[in-house]
Amino acid sequence: MMKIKGLIVLASLVFAFAQVEAAQWWVEFGDKPSAVSYLFRPERMLSPRALDRLHRQGLRPNLLDVPVEASYIEAVRSRGYAIVARSRWMNAVAVESVEFPTELEQLPFVTGIRAVAKVHFAASEVRTVFDYGSASDQIRLLNGDFLHLDGFSGEGMAIAVLDAGFVGADQMMAFDSLRTSGRLLGTVNFADTASVFEVNGTHGTSVLSTMAGLIPGSYVGTAPRASYFLVNTEVLSSETETEEYNWLMGAEWADSAGADVINSSLGYSTFNDPLTSHSYQDMDGNTTVVTRAADWAASRGILVVVSAGNEGNSPWTHITAPADADSVLAVGATDLLGGYATFSSRGPSFDGRVKPNVAAPGAGIRYVQTNGTVNSGSGTSFSSPIVAGLAACAWQAHPSRSAWEVLKAIEQSGSRFANPNDSVGHGLPNFDMVDFFLSTDQPKQLANLRYGPNPARDFLSVWSEADGVAEVVDVRGQLMLRWDLWQDLPSSVDVSAWPSGVYFLRFTTPYGTTAARVLVE
């Protein structure tokens, strides 16, 4: 059977009909990796009547109710098998094939394959998904594919890209969908009188491709269905403080144009004239023009995402402005395995705040060149838009949340949230968890709970900024442990004898309940 490639059909069902005879095989899976996001949002998997039925009988949703893992379904489909049925109770899908599906037996998450019978091919659901092509690693490392599979790829969100030149973006096939669908909302050039498509290079074009790029079967950006404003603020022929004022005007324009998110892969530290250059002392969140402009933009309800800088191996070493702003999400760089990329600028800010806030893939990143080919490059210039695009998708899923709540959820989802450092900040965001955190009733209380290490092996340390009750629950809903947690007094839980798997940490205060997923190895 032919593998289906191309664009995702979001929130829609396509049905095919035929009358051929084939053997049916039930392919059974060993786990449900997305269980946490469903168990804490049961309305996504059960109707109000079903939830009411459980409640009346003192029951609660459990692993049986969780749908079959979407990425497993796609793995089966990508090998040429159409899904003709699925069972969340069996944790399995049915495929049709005249011969035994040997290829599926080799998948690590497949635990068994059962032959059923010869059946007539009936109506079957076909849901196409993104074929990320060469962009797969940089999206999946952050679990951004979970947002896309849930139908959130940026629709209705507007991202302003403040950068240096978008030459070729008006002609490249990678942006055909952006242009033809009317999602290129506007352009402006604060550094030149020419069009943004004509001058100041292709840096902005490359950055844009990591978010908006879409080449069926070859490349997909992190927010391929978002709308975009393109704003040129850079002068390539010189490096002066004028560019910071251009950035200020660009941010004001983006605000007035209605941008939800600003991505800026630009940073300022030293200039051609040493007398006007900044010092590390200026990276205090309040001094430089561009930093103040970034905070002003954030105060208007815009999520501002900026690159931390590429000075890690230079004499400067530090973050560059506006990454020091206290209300922006500054993004450092990792390699495609999540390890710190040494070129990435390091924190903290001069006044001691955690910077960068998080880190994302920035070494060996795939982006689209102006000639339409996909190339590899490195820099926090790519880390920032990869996060900005996924942040827009997460915000699309939770439009009632504020930009600040989205930023904090991204931080808390980080792999080092409980133990941030100066290289990667709170670590790699997990956008499956961002989605979960934004779905809780008390997102403003998320910062009250810290925990680590995650994954945990021997012990799990938990501490909070308030008094409350802590609980650990397994995926079946069984309470493993409950204890009182006191403000600023960390406690350790021995998990060495617990079975490996996912557990849920809940923390309840008079202000509400915070929950998080913990993996025990």
Residues noted as catalytic: 163, 203, 381
The amino acid occupying position 82 is A
Distance from chain centroid for Cα 432? 7
Identify the CA nearest to 390 among candidates 169, 145, 121, 218.
145
**Tokens for 36?**
């946490």
Q: How far apart are CA 262 and CA 303, in angstroms?
A: 6
Cβ-in-10-Å burial (0-12, 13-18, 19+) of 336 comes to: middle
Strand order through the sheet with 110-120: 83-87, 92-96, 21-29, 110-120
Please give the Cα distance from 1 to 116 (Å, whole number).
20
174, with CB counted inside 10 A (0-12, 13-18, 19+), is: buried
The shares of helix, strand and coil residues in the chain, as percent rounded to the nearest 5, are 25, 25, 45
CA distance 117 to 98: 10
Q: Provide the 10 A C-beta neighbour count for residue 57.
A: 8
